Structure 1
Amino acid sequence: MGDKVLLVDDEEGIRKVLGISLADAGYDVMTAGSGEEALNIFRNESPSIVLTDIKMPGMDGIVLLRKIKEEKPDTEVIMITGHGDLELAIKSLQFEAADFVTKPIHDEALAIALKRVHERIWMKAKLREYTEGLEQLVLEKTQKLIEAERLAAIGQTVATLAHAIKNIIGGLKGGMYVLEKGMELHNTQYQGQGWEMLKSNVEKIKNLALDLLNYAKDREPDYRLCDPCEPLQEVFHLVQPRCRESGVSLEMECSAGLQPILLDPDGIHCCLLNLASNALDACRDFEPAGTPPGIVLRCLHVHGWGVEYQVADNGCGMDEETRSRIFRTFFSTKGTKGTGLGLMITQKIVREHGGVIEMETKQGKGSTFFIRLPDRRRLDASRTA
């Protein structure tokens, strides 16, 4: 049995004559005397080709064509026109008719139109095949690329951690040496220095392990309703002694009237501490022209967001190249002294909150980091409304 063809014409004689020609050509022919009848047959039988008259009572051929294309766009439709219906035939082509033939219909003209239809069907099938093949190829290449990037990231992680651990081990060995010398010489000053070196490097190991855990684990923020200034105040009191030791001023500004919002205070504390520590490093050993080195921590209300945190410094700042790489995996502005994990973790936590982190910087003029977090209560209310 050949392809199914639905022949639609309100004249019974045309249906009989064309039906015989199509059957002789090997097609499985179905006929309909109106657009409405044709649509019912089409929905039940799903013919691949429809041959329909344009001018018919009730639902005409143009309307039938549009309905067929809406329901099954791949169906090929040949329009039958009279000699004076050229304008309608052109209109049918605009609605994606495959071809049109004019009455009286000769076998040769019908055969040419059907040949064109079969060519369209073949080309569509090939295009679909090529598209599916291309999509599969893109998927395979993407998976390979993801795997390659994952392996590269693992390699970079191992190399970065190995370097950081090597530096910490060097510090531990140095502390042990100074401590042992102090004990050997009964020198309390050496003992104190050695002990402080050991404590400092143990703290580095602890921070490195915590950074890795924070970056590796995939978790939802532990949202709590709290004063958005609280994490900033905690970081302020934590960083203040280190700033005082380094001769760097530290200020804090919290907007009046800030409403409690839903956030993960521990996660935001971690973000702000990372940014404040980076700001302190940027201010150390850098003397801004005309003003002493300083850091300002801010908690503000901005339109469209629940809260905005700012960590601003007037330290060394960054050039454009460094700025473009600042959030890349394991990139650090501190050379061998940093792992780059701090900003990666900060960005991850902010994204988990549905927020954004941005930066403004100028070399020799300092940097300002902005963390904007949504008001989750409003978001949840809008979703349930």
Structure 2
Amino acid sequence: MLEKVLLVDDEDGIRTVLSVAIADAGYEVLTAGNGLEALDILKSTEVPLIVSDIKMPGMDGLELLKQVKRDWPDSEVIMITGHGDMQSAIEALRMGAGDFITKPLHENALEIALDRAKQKIQIRDQLREYTENLEHLVLEKSKELVEAERMAAVGQTVASMSHAIKNVAGGLEGGMFVLEKGLELENQEYLRQGWEMVRRDVERIKNLAMDLLDYAKPVSIAPEDCDPNAPARQVRDLLISKAERKGVKIQLELDESIPVMRIDPKAIHECLTNLVSNAIDACQDLLEGEKRVVIKTSDNGGMSVRYEVKDTGHGIAPEILTKVFNSFFTTKGSRGTGIGLMATKKLVKEMGGSIMANSGVGEGATFTITIPTAHVVT
């Protein structure tokens, strides 16, 4: 199918001559005697190439060019200008014309200009097709990458969970072995030890299941205007009995000058409960020295509140400290599930905050949560 060319010129003789030249160059020619006729043709026929004289009565070539580029921006326009009228030619190029030729017209110059315009159209079409294909390819590859990352995360989680379950199963097998020996030898001490081992690991399975359910629940943060110190006091009151049973003292160091802030006290309460409970467990095995957990608050100019939970336990080695927020990683041995700190980090992130751990062997551990506030109530 031949490419269409719309020739616009108010002189009949020039239209006839140029029509023959354009047709001989291999194009289908449509003609118009002025700009308005050209617009009527363009409204009903798709024409990729337009050749127009600049000097015409009524709507001149520049006004026609302006409307073509507004309504049919992909059409290539070649302007015909009188010899020496370079200013009009430059103005046409500035307005979006692809080329211009001067009178008197040479057949070769017209054919070259048409070929260049045709090449421009082909390059533009190829670029558009390439861009569309590239966008489709990027979309497909992005989907594949997201799916691969999701499967990798699932695989990592399943592997970590399997390791945690294997540890619990190993503990149960050990407990059952001691129980069997107690039954076989009718040894009450073996029976007591075996039962304690089984009871402990059943409790660990229950905690693991509950922690997984809690972690899987969608997080809904509900900020409200409240005293940022309130969650710290409530967590102290909640866990003080557990601490006393293990010989651990809970101490509050609250910044009473902190203003009322817009935060989620329930979410912060949950985070502090996890951290303080871990801190108590970290202190319980100390054979000497004070067993103490400190809950501290501080204000950052009303923009955020900082919570610190510090213990006097054995501390955490540097190579382990980098893993404490990983899935199912625990420093409690058979007592931990490895989900508490992971869930705490998730909750802190949902609140737009940050959490960090600092520790050294024999120096205790400090976990710091920083929570931003949206508004300060005066």
Shift of 1:235: 3.2
TM-score of the aligned structures, taking structure 1 as reference length:
0.70
Q: Which amino acid aligns with 1:155?
A: G
Aligned length in residues: 366
For residue 346 of structure 1, the aligned residue among 326, 344, 347 is 344
- Partner residue of 1:311 out of 308, 313, 320: 308
Deviation at 1:144, TM superposition (A): 2.6
Provide the aligned C-alpha RMSD in A: 4.8
Look up the match of 1:213: 213
1:33 maps to a residue whose letter is N
Cα distance in 2 for partners of 1:243, 1:20 equals: 101
Work out the CA distance in 1 between the residues paired with 2:50 and 2:368.
64
Per the TM alignment, residue 370 of structure 1 is displaced from its structure 2 partner at its CA by 3.0
Deviation readout 1:72-93 (Å, 9 max, x if unpaired): 5433232333333445545554
Kept in 2, the 8 Å contact 1:5–1:49? The answer is yes
Structure 2: distance between partners of 1:63 and 1:221? 60
161 and 50 in structure 1: CA distance in 2 versus 1, 3 angstrom threshold: same
Alignment check: 8 A CA contact 1:240 1:250 kept: no
Per-residue CA distance 1:335-383 (angstroms, 9 max, x = gap): 9776654444334434545x232537576785543343554999xxxxx
Q: 1:1-385 maps to which residues of 2 (within 5 A)?
A: 2-9=2-9, 14-15=14-15, 17-23=17-23, 25-31=26-32, 33-34=34-35, 42=42, 45-54=45-54, 65=65, 68-69=68-69, 71-86=71-86, 89-90=89-90, 92-93=92-93, 96-175=96-175, 181=182, 184-186=186-188, 191=192, 197-217=197-217, 219=218, 221=220, 223=222, 225=224, 227=226, 229=228, 230-241=230-241, 245=246, 247=248, 250-251=251-252, 253=254, 258-259=259-260, 261=262, 263=264, 265=266, 267-277=267-277, 294-298=293-297, 300=299, 303=302, 308-313=305-310, 316=315, 323=322, 330=327, 332=329, 334=331, 341-353=339-351, 355-359=352-356, 361=358, 367-373=366-372, 375=374
Task: Tell me how far apart the structure 2 counterparts of residues 320 and 186 of structure 1 sit (CA, whole Å).
Answer: 42
> In the TM superposition, what whole-angstrom CA distance separates every residue of 1:100-158 from its partner, at most 9, and x where no partner exists?
22223322212111111221222222222333333333333333333332322222222
Q: CA deviation at 1:228?
A: 5.8
Query: Greater CA radius of gyration, 1 or 2?
Result: 2
TM-score (norm 2): 0.71
Distance in 2 between the 1:377 and 1:51 partners?
Answer: 68
Structure 2 CA distance, aligned partners of 1:101 and 1:320? Answer: 76
User: In structure 2, what is the equivalent of residue 382 of structure 1?
Assistant: none
Give the percent of matched residue pairs that are identical in Structure 1 and Structure 2: 42
**Within 2, Cα distance between the matches of 1:151 and 1:98?**
52
Distance 1:303 1:117, change over 3 A: farther
1:235-254 alpha-carbon deviations (Å, 9 max, x no partner): 33344455563757543536
**Structure 1 CA distance for aligned equivalents of residues 339 and 286 of structure 2:** 23
Q: Secondary structure at the match of 1:369?
A: strand
Separation in 2, partners of 1:224, 1:141:
39
On the 8 A contact 1:312/1:367 being kept in 2, the answer is yes
CA distance in 1, matches of 2:52, 2:283: 81
Q: CA deviation at 1:286?
A: 9.4
Tell me the amino acid that sits aligned with residue 209 of structure 2.
A
In 2, Cα distance between the equivalents of 1:335 and 1:284?
Answer: 11
Quick one: structure 1 residues 280 and 80, their matched pair in 2 at CA, closer, same or farther if it must change by over 3 Å?
Answer: farther
Measured at CA, do residues 154 and 86 of structure 1 come closer, stay the same or move farther in structure 2, by a change above 3 Å?
same
- Return the offset for 1:198: 4.6
1:128 is matched by which residue type in structure 2?
R
CA contact (8 A) 1:232 1:299 kept: no
Distance 1:347 1:178, change over 3 A: same
5+ residue gaps in structure 2? Answer: none
Matched position secondary structure for 2:254: strand
SS at match of 2:2: coil
Q: Distance in 2 between matches of 1:334 and 1:100?
A: 79
8 Å Cα contact 2:298/2:306 also seen in 1: yes
Q: Which structure 1 residue ranges, 5 or more long, are not aligned?
A: 379-385
- Deviation per residue, 1:2-28 (Å, 9 max, x gap): 334344456666555444544554325
